[in-house]
Amino acid sequence: MNTPITQEQRQREIDANFEAFQDLLPKILDHERGRFAVMRDRKIIEVFDTAGDALRAAAMKFEDGRYSIQEITDRVIGLGYYSYAVPSR
């Protein structure tokens, strides 16, 4: 079982994952657009069709809460625990 993390540790994980996601986005956008990536340790662990599926899988796999979920789309915006990339208008 994983040891729970502090809010500060969780935020560091989110920030690091978001930075890595921005670097990875151009490589994955065309074939993963509209899907949701579970990230941990600056890596995409798995990609899901819905945010709910991504959240359920991440919560089961990473009981310590050290992960983030990113929506794969055109424009990247950091929204904390859930970070989404949304199309520009």
Give me the half-sphere count of Cα atoms (radius 13 Å) on the Cβ side of residue 46: 13
**Is residue 15 in a domain?**
yes
pLDDT at 1: 54
What pLDDT sits at residue 86?
Answer: 42
At which residue do the structure tokens 């890596």 appear? 43
Q: Is residue 1 part of a domain?
A: no
- Asked if residue 73 belongs to a domain, the reply is yes
Range of the domain at 72: 7-86
For the chain, the average pLDDT equals 85
Specify if 2 maps to a domain: no
Evaluate whether residue 21 is within a structural domain. Answer: yes
Residue 87 has pLDDT above 60, yes or no: no
Banded model confidence at residue 79, pLDDT cuts 50, 70, 90: low
Is 61 among the domain residues?
A: yes
pLDDT at 10: 87
**Domains held by the chain: number:** 1
